[in-house]
Structure 1
Amino acid sequence: MTSLFIPREPHLARLARFGLIGAVSTLIYAGLSWTLTTYGHAEAVKASLIAYTVSGIFSYLAQRRFTFRSSTGHSRAAPRFIVVTVLGVVIATLAPLLLTDRLHQSPLLAIAITCGLVPLANYLALDRLVFRPAPEAAGIDAAGLWRLATIAMFGLGAIMSAMRRTDVDVAWLLTLGEKMLDGQRAYVDFFEANPPMSILLYLPAVVLGRATPIPAEAWVNILTLTAIAASLVLCGRILAKAVPDRARLWALAATAAFVLTVLPTGVFTQREHIAVVAMLPFLVLTLARSEGETPSWLVAALAGLGCGVAMAIKPHFALAAGPPALIAALRRRSLKPIFATEIWAASAVVFAYAFLLLTAFKPFLAFMPAIREAYLPARRPLVQLLICPPIPIFLLLVLLTIDAGRRHLRSAWIPVGLMAAAAGGLASCLIQGKGWPYQAYPMLAFAALALAAAVVLGWRDAAASRLPPLVRISLIGSCAALSMGWSNVKGDYHQLNAPVAALVPHPRLLSISADIALGHPLTRELHGHWVGSVCSQWMTAGVLAQARAGHLSLARRTRLRQFVGLDRRILVNDILRGRPDIILVSVGGFDWGAWARADPALAAALAPYRPVRTVDGVAIWARS
Structure 2
Amino acid sequence: MVAIVVAALLQQALTALDCDVSWLITTAERMLGGARLYRDIEEVNPPASVLLYVPPVAIGALLGLKPEIVTVALVTGLALLSLHHAARLLALPPTRSTPYIAAACAFFLLVLPADLFAQREHVALIAGLPMLALLVARSRRSTVRRADSWSAGLAAGIMIAIKPHLALALILPALWLIIRQRSLAAVQTPEWVAAALLCTAYLLVVQLAFPDYTARMLPLLRLVYLPGRDSWSNLLAGPMVMIPAVAAILTLWLSRGRPSEAAVVALLAAAGFAAAGLVQGKGYLNHGYPAVAAALVAITLELGRPGHARAFGSLCALLLALGGTYAYDRVPQPGALRDAVVRVGPPQPRLIGISFDFALGHPLTRWVDGRWVGRRGSLWVTGNARQQLADAALPAAARRRYEAAEQADAAMLAADITRQRPDIILVDETPGVRWIASHPPLAQAMRAYRPATRVGHVTLWKPRPSR
Query: Per-residue deviation at 1:306?
Result: 0.9
SS of equivalent to 1:293: coil
Whether 2:229 is the aligned partner of 1:356: answer: no
Q: For residues 209 and 452 of structure 2, what CA distance do their matches in structure 1 show?
A: 44
Alignment partner for residue 369 of structure 2, among 527, 537, 540? 527
Query: Per-residue deviation at 1:529?
Result: 1.1
Query: Residue 166 of structure 2 contacts residue 273 of structure 2 at CA under 8 Å; is this kept in 1?
Result: yes
Q: For residues 398 and 379 of structure 1, what CA distance do their matches in structure 2 show?
A: 26
Residue aligning to 2:154: 305
1:211-237 C-alpha deviation (Å, 9 max, x unpaired) = 112111101001101101110110121
Describe how 1:450-465 pairs up with structure 2 within 5 A.
Answer: 450-458=298-306, 460-461=307-308
Bigger Cα Rg: 1
Alignment partner for residue 289 of structure 1, among 117, 138, 142? 138
Distance 1:557 1:535, change over 3 A: same
SS of equivalent to 1:457: coil
RMSD: 1.5
Alignment partner for residue 581 of structure 1, among 400, 423, 430? 423
Residue aligning to 1:386: 236
Residue aligning to 1:77: none
Q: For residues 266 and 405 of structure 1, what CA distance do their matches in structure 2 show?
A: 33
Alignment partner for residue 251 of structure 1, among 100, 111, 115? 100
Whether 2:274 is the aligned partner of 1:415: answer: no
Query: Per-residue deviation at 1:576?
Result: 0.8
Q: For residues 74 and 391 of structure 2, what CA distance do their matches in structure 1 show?
A: 41
Q: For residues 423 and 517 of structure 1, what CA distance do their matches in structure 2 show?
A: 29
Whether 2:334 is the aligned partner of 1:493: answer: yes
SS of equivalent to 2:213: helix
Query: Per-residue deviation at 1:503?
Result: 1.2
Describe how 1:111-126 pairs up with structure 2 within 5 A.
Answer: none
The residue identity in structure 2 corresponding to 1:493 is P
Whether 2:4 is the aligned partner of 1:153: answer: yes
Whether 2:222 is the aligned partner of 1:222: answer: no
Structure 1: segments with no counterpart, 5+ residues: 1-149
Whether 2:64 is the aligned partner of 1:213: answer: yes
Query: Per-residue deviation at 1:248?
Result: 4.1
The TM-score normalised by the length of structure 2 is: 0.96
Q: For residues 445 and 152 of structure 2, what CA distance do their matches in structure 1 show?
A: 52
Query: Per-residue deviation at 1:187?
Result: 0.8
Query: Per-residue deviation at 1:549?
Result: 4.1
The residue identity in structure 2 corresponding to 1:154 is V
SS of equivalent to 1:189: coil
Whether 2:339 is the aligned partner of 1:508: answer: no
Q: For residues 510 and 480 of structure 1, what CA distance do their matches in structure 2 show?
A: 38
Whether 2:242 is the aligned partner of 1:402: answer: no
Query: Residue 240 of structure 2 contacts residue 287 of structure 2 at CA under 8 Å; is this kept in 1?
Result: no
Q: For residues 353 and 392 of structure 1, what CA distance do their matches in structure 2 show?
A: 34
Structure 2: segments with no counterpart, 5+ residues: none
Query: Per-residue deviation at 1:492?
Result: 4.5
Residue aligning to 1:440: 288
Query: Residue 239 of structure 1 contacts residue 249 of structure 1 at CA under 8 Å; is this kept in 2?
Result: no
1:571-593 C-alpha deviation (Å, 9 max, x unpaired) = 01110111001000110xx3333
1:468-492 C-alpha deviation (Å, 9 max, x unpaired) = x2x4343223212221121123554
The residue identity in structure 1 corresponding to 2:326 is G
Distance 1:535 1:342, change over 3 A: same
Query: Residue 515 of structure 1 contacts residue 536 of structure 1 at CA under 8 Å; is this kept in 2?
Result: yes
Query: Residue 493 of structure 1 contacts residue 518 of structure 1 at CA under 8 Å; is this kept in 2?
Result: no
Distance 1:386 1:407, change over 3 A: closer
- The answer to which of 343-352 and 152-161 deviates more is 152-161
SS of equivalent to 2:304: helix
Alignment partner for residue 370 of structure 1, among 210, 216, 220? 220
Query: Per-residue deviation at 1:201?
Result: 0.5
Whether 2:190 is the aligned partner of 1:190: answer: no
Whether 2:184 is the aligned partner of 1:335: answer: yes
1:158-206 C-alpha deviation (Å, 9 max, x unpaired) = 2212322122111101111111111110111111111111000000011
Query: Residue 162 of structure 1 contacts residue 221 of structure 1 at CA under 8 Å; is this kept in 2?
Result: no
Residue aligning to 1:56: none
1:71-92 C-alpha deviation (Å, 9 max, x unpaired) = xxxxxxxxxxxxxxxxxxxxxx
The residue identity in structure 2 corresponding to 1:278 is A
**How many residues end up aligned between the 2 structures?**
462
Residue aligning to 2:82: 231
Query: Per-residue deviation at 1:388?
Result: 2.3
Query: Residue 374 of structure 1 contacts residue 560 of structure 1 at CA under 8 Å; is this kept in 2?
Result: yes
Residue aligning to 2:410: 568
**Greater relative contact order structure (CA < 8 Å, 6+ sep):** 2
Alignment partner for residue 164 of structure 2, among 283, 296, 315? 315
